[in-house]
Chains A and B, each alone.
Chain A
Amino acid sequence: MSKYLVNLSVNDIPVSVPEGTTILAAAKKLDFKIPTLCYHEDLCVAGNCRVCVVEQVGARALVAACATPVSEGMQIHTNSATVRTARKTIIELLLSEHNADCTKCYKNGNCELQSLAHEYRVGEHVFIDLVNGKHRVIDDLSPSIIKDDSKCIRCQRCVRTCDELQGVSALTVAYKGDLQKISTFLGHPLAEVVCTNCGQCVNRCPVGALVEKTYVEEVWNAINNPNKHVVVQTAPAVRVAIGEELGYNPGERLTGKMVTALKRLGFDSVLDTDFTADLTILEEGTELLTRLKRALVDKDTRVALPMTTSCSPGWIKFIEHTFPEFLPNVSTCKSPQQMFGALAKTYYAQKKGLKAQDICVVSIMPCTAKKYEANRPEMRSSGYKDVDFVLTTRELGMMIKQAGINFHNLEDSQYDSFMGESTGAGVIFGVTGGVMEAALRTVYEVVTGREVPFKNLDILPVRGMEGVREAKVKIEGCLPEWKFLDGIEVSCAVAHGLANARKLMQAVKDGSAHYHFIEIMACPGGCLGGGGQPIPTNEEIRAKRATAIYREDEGLPLRKSHENPEVKMIYEEYLGAPNSNKSHALLHTHYLARRRY
C-alpha cells in the first residue's frame, strides 16, 4: 500500500488513510460499520450487491464503499437519508428474490441477509415475491454440499472463492438479466463436475444457498441405538476452532472440554484422528524413503517423484480431475480419517471384542470433502463403510447446543485409549506445512538417528501463510542402511489453497520446479481453514487458529510421530511394520483419473 496519506471525512469526522484504501476501510478505521454482503476479505472486490453504497458529496450517484478508493478531500456520509433508503430498498430487493423461509433454513441464525433484515427492520411483503414463480432446484446429490438456488442472492462470493482461492472454477455465473444464476457446467449436479467438495464456498456463502449436507440426525440415531458402539474421532483442527461455534474468540484451544462434551453427547469412545495422523507419518515417511531408495539406489526411472501428500480429500479430487498424470506421485496412504475408520472396524473391534457391523464410526472434521471421502467406494477396507458419518466442526457445535451442554463450564478430560494417544506431530496436521514438518521430524531421525536440526523441533521454513513455500533439508551422517541418502538435500514444497496447488503442480509439470516431497492442503491455511470450520473465516482468524495449533504441539510431551506409544503398539501387535502387507490392505488406497470438467 502506498505511503501517501489521503485526507477525507466520514460522517464529518476527518481521517487520513493511505492512498488506495477503500471507503469501507476508512470508515472502519473510525469505527463506522458499513454493511456488506458481496464483500469478503479473502476475495477480490465485486461491488455488486450494492448494500454498502454510501454518499459521496458532489457525486451524481451513491458509490460502493467496498469498491471505491478514497480520494483527497472526499466527504462521505454512511447514514444519510438517501443512503438509508437505498440500503433498505436493496435489502428488500434481495429478500424478494430470496427464499426467506428463515425458520426452516439450515442457516437460520447464521445468515448475513437475515441479520441485515433484522438490523433494518424490513417490513413484510414490500415487493412482489419473485421466488415462487421460479422453478426451484435443490442440488443435494453431493455427499458434502447442498446448493439451493432459491436462497441465492447472487453475491458471487462462491464463484470468486472457487476461482481465485481454489483455482477450480466449478462454479460460474451463468445467463444474464432475470435468468442470471450461479451454476456449474451446464447446471450439472455438483457431484458430477470438477467440484472438490472443499466447502470453501460454504464458508463464504452469506446465506443458505450453499451449506454442508448434515448427518447430525443420523449420528443421534446411532448414539441412541443400543446395539451400536459409536466411536468418534476428532481431527486436529477441530479443537482450535470449535470454540467459535460456542461463543469463544478464535484461537482458543479447547481439546479437553471438547472431549468431555463428546462423552456427554453419548459417544461410546472418544478417540483422536491425531493417532492415525502419527500413523500416517510412519506409513508415508516409509513410502517416501522407499521411493527415494528405488530412485537413487535401484536407479528405477519409473519411480514417481516428487511424492505428494494425500491427507486432504479436496486435493485428491482436484488432482484426479486436473493433473491425473501425476496420480502415481500421490502417496498411497489413506488420509488419517480413513486409516482410523479402517482400524476402528478391524484392530479396535478385535481388541474390544466387537463385531465390525456393530461399530459406527463418526468423524468430526474441519472439512466437507471428508464427507465425500468417507463415501468413496475404495474406503471399505474393513468390509464395511469404514467411516459411517462425517460431521463438520459446525455440526458438532450444533449437537453440543442441541444437547443443552454448557460447554464453558465443562471440565477437561482425556481421550479414551487406545487410538486416542497422539503427539504434537499429529496435531500440526491441522495447519499448512504441518504434515511436512511432522514427516521431517520422523524421517530425519529414522535416517540419521538424530533429531531434526531445528531449534526446539520447530521447522520454521515450512511454517507460515505464504501460498507456496519451499524448504531444503540437508541429510548428513546417515545410519548405515540409509547411507545412500548421505549428502542429499531433500527438497520440499508446501502449498495450501488449491489455486496455489495448481501453480505448484504446473511448475512441477513444466519442469521449472524440482522437489522430492510436496505437501498440499486444499484449504487456505490447511485444515484449520477447512470448509467445515466455523463461519466467518479470514486471514486473521486462520492465523489465530494456527497459533493455537502450534501451542498445542509445544505443550505435548511427545512431538514426534514415531514416539507415539500406541503407534508402536499397533505395529507390534497388529500391523507388523510400516508398509507391510496388512498396512497396505488397510491403510493404503488408489486413485482415479477423472474428467476435467
Chain B
Amino acid sequence: MIAMMLALLRARMSLAVMTFVLTALAAGAAATGPLYATAAARSALVAEVEAASISERVIAGDLLSRSRGFDRQNALETQPYVPGFRTVAGAMSNGKLRSPNGSASLWLASRTGVCGEIVVSQGRCATADREVVLRRDIGQTIGAAIGSEVQFMPSSFGGGELLAPVRLTVVGHYEPYVPTDIYWADHIMLASGDSPPAFANERTVLAATGPMLFTTDLIASPQAFDDRERLAGDVANVLAVFEAAGYDSATEIAALSARIDDAADVLLGSLIVATLPLVIICWYVLFLAVVGAVEQRRGELAVTALRGVPTRMRWQLAAAETTVPILLGLGPGLVLGFLVTATLSATFTWLAVALAGVAVLGALAAGWFAQWRAMRLPVVQLLQRIRRRRGGSAPARAGEAAIGVLALATGYQAATAGGGGGIALLAPICFGLGCGLLAGRLALRPTEHIGRWFVGRGWLTAGLGALAIARRPGSRAIVALLTVGLGMLGFALTAADTAQQAWAMRARVETGAPQVLTVLPVSGARLLDGVRTVDPDGRFAMGVARVQLANMPPVLAVDSTRVSTVAYWPGFAERAESLLRPQEPDVLRMRGERLDMAVNVQEMAPGTTARIELNLVKANGDRTAVITDELRVGSGWYQMKTLGCEERPCRLAGMTVNVSGPQRIRLTLGEIRNEAGEVVLDRAAMGDVKRWLQSVASAANPIGELESTPEGLGVRADSGVPVDLHLRPRSAPGPMPAVAAGDLPRQLTVVGGSVPLVLAEGADLLPRLGNKGLLLDLEYADLAMNLRAELLMPEVWLSADAPADVTERLLAAGVVVQGRVTTDDRHEMFSRQAPALALRFQRLAAVAAMMLAALGLIVAAMLDRTRSGLDLSVMVPHGLSKTSVRIGALLGRWALIVIAAFAGAVAALAAWLVARPVIPVYTVDVPTIPLPQWPGPPVAWFAVAALAFLLSTGWVAAQFSRGTVEGANS
C-alpha cells in the first residue's frame, strides 16, 4: 500500500508540490501572525519606550533638605531597586566655587554612574573624597587647572548666604553635554547651562553644610515593560518607599505602560485578524487544487470502486496525495513564518505552532472534503468524463447572493463595531467576498449573452471566449478569489499610503522643521546671535528654544523672522512674524570701550556707599557687567570700562544702583557717552520712567522711586531694609504676543517677576508642541524674561536646503551642535510603532493574498485539464483556428481579471469608506492633526502593477491550460 501511495505521489508530483506549497503557505501565514505579533510587539515596545517622554520612563523622587548637616541615610536608607530599572541617586548643593583666579556659581553634585555619562577631556573623573571634576569652560573661566585647590561655598537656596566652604581638588575637566539624555532625568540643575554642575562623590557633596537636594531616579529600560502587571506593583512599591521617606515623587510611567498594552493589543488583534483571510484563501485555493486533483483521477476512483476495494483503503489511496504533502507542509510553513518575521527577530511561540497546526488541519479538512465529495459518487458518475455545471439552480443562486450580502453586512459590522483596528481589518475580505460573489453572478450572466451575440455576428473568437468563461464551472470562484485578493490589496495599500502621509505630516509638525540641531545650552541672546551670524539673511536657519517653566504649558520661543522659511507650520508660517513680533524691539545699545555716565547725587546718608552697575549683553550673547566707582554727592561723570562692546554694540540689559549701608539716597542718572563723546543714551531716554521695569514691590522687598527730570532719571530710596534699585529697560512690547494651542495663561512667571501675555491668535497645532503649548518670539522672550541658559533647551532649526557645513559654521559662531533630528528620523520612529507594524503586516498579507489569488488562476488552469470539453480547442476540428482558440482562452481569463479588478476596486473603496476611521495609525492619536482621507498617486501605480501582474498570470494560465489540453488532445 505504501508503495502504491508513493507511486501515486510520484505520478502526481506537480499537484503534490502545489498542495505542499499551499499548505506551507497556509501554515506559514498562520504562524506568521503570532510570530510577527510577538516580535512586533517587542519592537513596538522598544519604539514606544524610546519615543516616550522622560517623565514616562522615570520614577523620580526628590527631597529638599534645608537643615544643615543633613544625613542622607535619614532620608532614604536603602535605594529602591526594581528589575529593568536603573537607580540613579543624586545629591546636589548650590553655591559658589572659588579658585585663586575667579569664582563661579554652580551645583556641587553627585550622581550614580556620572563618570560613565560625561566625557572627561582632561584629567580624570572624581572618585575619591574631596575631588571634583568641572566643566571645561568653567575650569578655564575661574582658572581651576587640574590639580588646583578650590573652595566650594554652599549657599541657601535663593538666599545667597555663603556657608562654610568645602576644600576640593580639581581632578578633571569634562566636556559640555546635552542634558536631553534620560540619564539626567530632566533635572534643571543638571542642565549644564550657565551654572553647570561640578561632580564629586556623594560623601564630598554631603560634606557641604548647606541645604541639599536629594534625588532618586529610577530609569526604566525597555525590559522593565516586559511584564507590565508586575511593573505596576513595582511602581506602587517605589512610590510607597518615597512617600515613607518624605520624598516628593512623580512619574507618568503608567501612561507609557498603558500605551504599550494598547500597542500590543492592536498588534495581536490586527495581525491575527489579518492572518485569518490569508489562511482562508490558502484553504480555498488548496480546495480548488484538490478538486482539480480529484477531477483528474475520477477514473482512478472509479477503478477502485469497480474492484470493490474496501472503503478504508480507497480513502487512504485517494487521500494520500493530499494528506502527505499537507502534513509535510507544517514544518516548512513554520520555517516560512519565522523567515517572514526574521527581520523582527521573532522568537518561538507555541501559539504560532498551534495556529500553524490549525491551518494544516484546515487544509486537511479542505482536501478531505474535496475527496469525500468524489468518494461518495456512484461508480457510473465517476466514469463520466463531463460533469454537470453547478450553481445554476435558483436555490444555488439565492444561496450565493445570500452569502454575498451576508459578507457585505459582516464587513460593515466589523468596521463599525468599534472594536478598533483589529476586527476592522476583516472588512476588506468581507467586502471582497461579497463584491466578488455578486460580481461573478452579475457579470458572468451577461457575458454569456454577449458571447452569444458575438457568435451570432460572426465574431467567433470573442464570442466563444465569452461563452467559455461564462460556462466554465470555476469562473465565479475565480472572480470571487481575485476580488478578495485585489480588494485586500487595494485597502492595504490605501491604508498604508494614507498612514504614510499622516506620519509624514505629524513628523513635520512634531519636529518643526526638516532638520533640528540640538545645541549646548546657551542664552537666548547668544543663540540668536550665533544663528544670525551663520545665516544673516534668514534663508535656512532659525534659533529656537524650549523654555522650561514650572507649572506652565510648554513654551517654544522661535526667531519668528525666519519661521516662514524654515519651520513647518501650515497656515501660520507666513504670518508668524506679524503675529509674534508685531514691531521691532526697542533695544538700548551701547558701543564703546568706555562708557561715561552723568550722575548727580543730591542726597546720600552718612555711611552710605553707592555704585552704578550696568548689565550689558554683548552682541554674541555673553553677559558682562560694568560698575562705576563709588558715587559722590554732587554732579559728576563716572567712567566704566567695557570689554567686548567696542566693535559691536552691547545691549543694556539692566542697571542697578548698588547701595550699601543706610538705604537713603537720592540721585539723578543722566546721559551716557562713550569714549569718543558720542551720546549712547541721552537724558530724555534715560529719564523716561515708562522705559524702565522694576521688580514687584513688597514690604520685604521695597523698590526705589523713579521720576522723570530734565536731567534724566531721578532715583530715590529711603528704607530701613535693602531697597531693590535694579532697573530693566522695557525693550519688548507688553503684554507679549503669543500664539497658543489650548489655554493661554495670563502671564508667564519667571525669576524676578512675571511677563503678561496676550493671545495673538489661537492655533490647533503648533510646530513641535502639537496641540498644547504656546509660541513666542525668541528675542521678545529673551528681552522680557532675561532667559538664562539653564531654563532653555536651545535648538537650531534648519530648512531642507541648509548647507552641509552648517554645523561647523555654528561652532565658529559659538553654538555647539550636539545632536541632529530630522523629520525623517521622526517618521522612522512612527514606522517602528505598533500601528505601522500592523499596517506593514496587513500590506504583506494583502500582497500574499493577491499572489494566492494569482495562484488560483493557475490552479483553475489545471482544473481545465480535465475539462477539455469546455475548452475552445474542441472547436478546432470544426474549423476554428488555433490562433482564435489561443486568443479566446486568453481573453476569457483577462475578462475574469478585469471583472475582478472592478469588483476589487469597489470592495476596497467600500471597506475604506467604512473602516477608515478605525484603522490604527498612531499609538497615541493627535486629533488635531487631520488624517488624510485619500491615498496618493503611488497607490494607483501599485494597483496598475497588480493588475498587470494578474494579466500576466492570466496569460501564463492560458498558455498552461492550452498546453495541457492540446497535449491531452494529441
Are the chains A and B members of one assembly?
no
A interface residues, Cβ below 8 angstroms from B? none
B interface residues, Cβ below 8 angstroms from A? none
